[in-house]
Amino acid sequence: MNHSHSLWRAEASLLLRSNRNVLALILLLVLSAASVWSGIVQVQDQRATIERVEREQVRDLAAVEEANAGPEGEAGYNAYYAFMLTQDPPPPLAFAAIGQRDLQPYVLRVRALGLQSQLYDSETYNPELALPGVFDWAFVLIYLLPLVVIALGHDLVTAEREGGRLRLLLSLPGNGLWRRRVGLRYTAVLLAIGLPLIIGAMIMAAPAVSIATMILIAALYSAFWFGLAMLIGGATRASTTAAATMIGCWIILTLILPTLAQAVIARAVPVAKGVDLTLAQREVVHHGWDVPKEETFARFFVNHPEWRGQEEFEGRFHWKWYYAMHQVGDEAVAADVSAYRDSLKKRETMTKLLGYVLPGVGTMNVLHRMADTDIQGQLAYQDSIAAFHTKLRQFYYPYFFEEQAFDHSDFAMIPRYEPRSSGGTPPTEALAALAFLSLLVLALGSRRLLNAGREQGGR
Amino acid sequence: MTNIFTAPAIAIDGLHHSYGANPVLRGLDLTVQRGEIYALLGGNGAGKSTTLSALLGFLRPCSGSVRVCGTDPVADARAARSQMAYVPENVSLYEHLTARENIGYFLALAKAERGGDAIEAALSAVGLTQAAKDKRLSGFSKGMRQKVAIALALARDVPVLLLDEPTSGLDPRAVLEFNRLLDAAREREVAVLMVTHDLVSAVDIADRIGFLSEGKIEEEQTASTAGPRFDLNALHDRYTLVAGAPA
Ligand SMILES: Nc1ncnc2c1ncn2[C@@H]1O[C@H](COP(=O)(O)OP(=O)(O)O)[C@@H](O)[C@H]1O
Ligand SMILES: [Mg+2]
């Protein structure tokens, strides 16, 4: 016990005497800390934005109420001018894996007009597999940690052979040398990537279990790269060859294959742009002005039969017709909307499958699902907006169809949006696939390393 | 079961070994007793280092038997290796550690922790100056590195020493000092198997000299107790014949 303790200490001081290793570890620590810090800043920015918009919202609503609500107030004007705030506050783990939140709206103000013309206002769908985008902890883990593992682990055996020490090391009666060396480097890498995350989690009051799971994911992903380093380091004669091969693997596994796969998926599953849905919906609405009103109502009543028989009005314009027309516009593009969502989901499914074989993609999928910052999270926010929009319309319809006045007490009753409860759980299948892949490569690498050390006495 | 105290320190019997289709050892017999210094000579590629590899359990012999203090180094590598200290050809230790730190580290690896005094004594014994003991190896000459490796082997304090060209890189005075170290080892009943090119030094220190050629010991001479230890002329002829190299 005491002896093995001193062996670990000796090994640690040997590791820390090497400038290259120390530099690589410090770099990882600094990058990890910087990414956590930048993630926290982004999350706090988003929170501040939400708070600011919430304050503006109070002011804006007061102005709308002032101008439109009252004993003579018309629901139509109130519904037209009262934009209602929806917001998607950053989930607890978003600071570590920002994902889609970088690009997707997290505040959106909607009114009772057609939803599809409002939903994609600031949209640019980021394909889940986008190459290095945001600088967050997940990015440092997935793209940069492997380079540090390569620096620390590619020449475990070759450097000893080149340094003229391998045969001497192998001639000693002790055992567990490689296990200690790999174990030590592995621990050091995990500390460098993990400590900033833990501190960030404490600042952000993120749930401890989730952070532990993220560390576990980092441990699995690092195990994959250490396994690969041992596999390649054990199969090559020269350190430079090993390093070059490892860098090649890094480029292929984290850059080329994901990019190619992304292109293939994009081609296999075309996705319309949300803005196309907006345009289609507006087209229908514009056209609606020229369509006979009976026709618009007939289409509206298909899904809102409760208002049948109350469509008559005098004059050329009436709010009930106007809002029915908008709703009909939404319904006209419903098939396109569901096709659009289906293909997004299909892409995500394919990305998920890809993650089963590419550990970087798998790790990203798991982290973003846990943080609830992936497309699924984005769609969930849209769903909650849609549900709210329905509630909003249902609230106004009696006022339109029964021609009730819209007084201040009515204004106070306009439904408010309740943020969805965000935060995901780790997808077990993907986590299991990552664990399987990583532990397999680790086992193969360990075997290879031991054999490489033993083969022909290290010549 | 051979007794560890009565068995010869090194016993190689009818050893055959090939690297693929290249037969290197072909029925090698070699015995070294405790308190004996055996110098193994032979041309380049004769199989001298391969012989040491077999003793260290690095190779699985095609046939024949290898024992170190009665232990089979393939079957029980750890037990055999705890009896042997090995100085490989062109050895080097960690560049960024001092001589003293290197010895401490390797001793820890060998599970042979010795006090600072033992390390100090070993480093002094090989002739390292006080200042050099705490210098990093990166500034050392080949000879000084060799000395540190030898100091490590001495500090292990084991019954068998395997030395592969230990004097290459040492200046003549250092070779003399080294020979005195071997003398002292012999006094402590250590068995030394030393691969060397240096016939003069071998004649000076060895108890037996063997020529390895065609995968076996072609000729072996034992030091005589009276008069000159070896017939240097005969050895020289033999050496130039076998090694094809000037002594
Ligand atoms: N690991 C190895 N694989 C293949 N051939 C080897 C290996 N080690 C040594 N040899 C070959 O075996 C022969 C003997 O090598 P070695 O024992 O190193 O010779 P020596 O030490 O006497 O110069 C040489 O021809 C050498 O090329
Ligand atoms: Mg040799």
pLDDT of residue A216: 97
Check whether B3 has a pLDDT greater than 80. no
Q: What is the mean pLDDT of residues B94-117?
A: 90
pLDDT of residue A125: 45
pLDDT of residue A258: 93
Higher pLDDT among residues A405 and A289, named by residue: A405
User: How would residue A139 be classed by pLDDT, with cut points 50, 70 and 90?
Assistant: very high
Higher pLDDT among residues A328 and A458, named by residue: A328
Check whether A310 has a pLDDT greater than 50. yes
pLDDT of residue A280: 79
Q: Which of A19, A27, A325 is nearest to A147 (CA)?
A: A27
- Please tell me which residue of chain B has the smallest CA distance to A159: B94
How many helices, marked H, and strands, marked E, lie in chain B? 9, 9
B188 touches chain A (CB under 8 A): no
Higher pLDDT among residues B240 and A169, named by residue: A169
Total domains present in chain A? 1
Residues 29..68 of B with a Cβ closer than 8 Å to A: which?
Answer: 53, 56, 58-59
CA-B20 nearest atom, ligand 1: 4
pLDDT of residue B5: 60
Residue A209 CB partners (closer than 8 Å, separation 6+) = none
pLDDT of residue A1: 47
pLDDT of residue A276: 78
Please state at what angle helix B142-156 crosses helix B172-187, rounded to 10 degrees.
Answer: 0
Burial (CB < 10 A; 0-12, 13-18, 19+), residue A244, is middle
Kindly give the pairing relationship between strand B160-164 and strand B10-19: unpaired
For chain A, how far is it from start to end, CA to CA, in angstroms? 32
Q: State the DSSP code for A292.
A: -
- At B165-182, the pLDDT tens digits run 998 888 888 899 899 999
Helix, strand, or coil here: B40?
strand
Q: State the DSSP code for B127.
A: T
Please provide the size of chain B in residues.
247
Residue type present at position B177: E
Q: Which of B129, B131, B126 is nearest to B177 (CA)?
A: B126
Task: Give the bridge partners for B219, in sequence order.
Answer: B211
Q: Which of B135, B202, B218, B124 is nearest to B167 (CA)?
A: B202
Query: How high is the mean pLDDT of chain B?
Result: 89
Check whether A123 has a pLDDT greater than 50. no
Name the strand (E) or helix (H) holding B29: strand B22-32
pLDDT of residue A127: 45
pLDDT of residue A137: 97
Least confident of A102-116, B68-82, B189-203: A102-116
Nearest ligand for residue B20 CA: 1
**Range(s) of the domain holding residue A288:** 2-458
- At A80-96, the pLDDT tens digits run 999 999 999 999 999 99
Q: What is the mean pLDDT of residues B26-55?
A: 94
- Ramachandran bin of A32, using left for φ above 0, alpha for ψ from -120 to 50, beta for the remaining angles: alpha
- CB half-sphere exposure, A357, CA atoms < 13 A: 8
Q: What is the mean pLDDT of residues A285-303?
A: 84
Query: For chain B, what percent of residues have pLDDT higher than 70?
Result: 96
What are the φ and ψ backbone dihedral angles of B83, each rounded to 5 degrees?
Answer: -95, -10
Q: What is the mean pLDDT of residues A380-396?
A: 95
Q: Are A333 and A281 contacting, i.e. CB atoms less than 8 angstroms apart? A: yes
Q: Are B166 and B19 contacting, i.e. CB atoms less than 8 angstroms apart? A: no
Candidate from A14, A173, A456 with C-beta closest to B81: A173
B27 touches chain A (CB under 8 A): no
Q: What is the mean pLDDT of residues A425-442?
A: 95
pLDDT of residue A277: 78
**Do the Cβ atoms of A165 and B56 come within 8 Å?**
no
Ligand 1 binding residues, C-beta < 6 A: A 456, 459; B 19, 22, 24, 42, 44-50
Q: Which of A388, A393, A390, A387 is nearest to A320 (CA)?
A: A393
pLDDT of residue B119: 93
Q: What is the mean pLDDT of residues A159-173?
A: 93
Q: What is the mean pLDDT of residues B139-144?
A: 89
pLDDT of residue B247: 37
Candidate from B94, B110, B149 with C-beta closest to A172: B110
Q: What is the mean pLDDT of residues A427-450?
A: 95
DSSP E strands, A220-377: none
Determine the longest span between alpha carbons in chain B, in angstroms.
50
Query: How high is the mean pLDDT of chain A?
Result: 90
Least confident of A19-23, A391-395, B114-118: B114-118
Give the separation between CA A332 and CA A39, rounded to whole angstroms.
Answer: 40
User: How would residue A133 be classed by pLDDT, with cut points 50, 70 and 90?
Assistant: low
Kindly give the pairing relationship between strand A107-110 and strand A84-87: antiparallel
Check whether A124 has a pLDDT greater than 80. no
Q: What is the mean pLDDT of residues A320-335?
A: 88
What are the φ and ψ backbone dihedral angles of A394, each rounded to 5 degrees?
Answer: -60, -35
Task: Give the bridge partners for B87, in sequence order.
Answer: B163
Q: What is the mean pLDDT of residues A316-340?
A: 88
- At B184-238, the pLDDT tens digits run 999 999 999 999 988 888 888 999 999 999 999 988 889 887 777 888 777 887 7
Q: How far is CA A385 from CA A85, B148, B209, in A?
A: 10, 75, 93
Check whether A35 has a pLDDT greater than 90. yes
- Please tell me which residue of chain A has the smallest CA distance to B103: A10
pLDDT of residue A97: 95
Residue nearest to ligand 1 atom 3, measured at CA: B19
Give the separation between CA B40 and CA B138, rounded to whole angstroms.
Answer: 31
pLDDT of residue A2: 62
Residue A287 CB partners (closer than 8 Å, separation 6+) = none
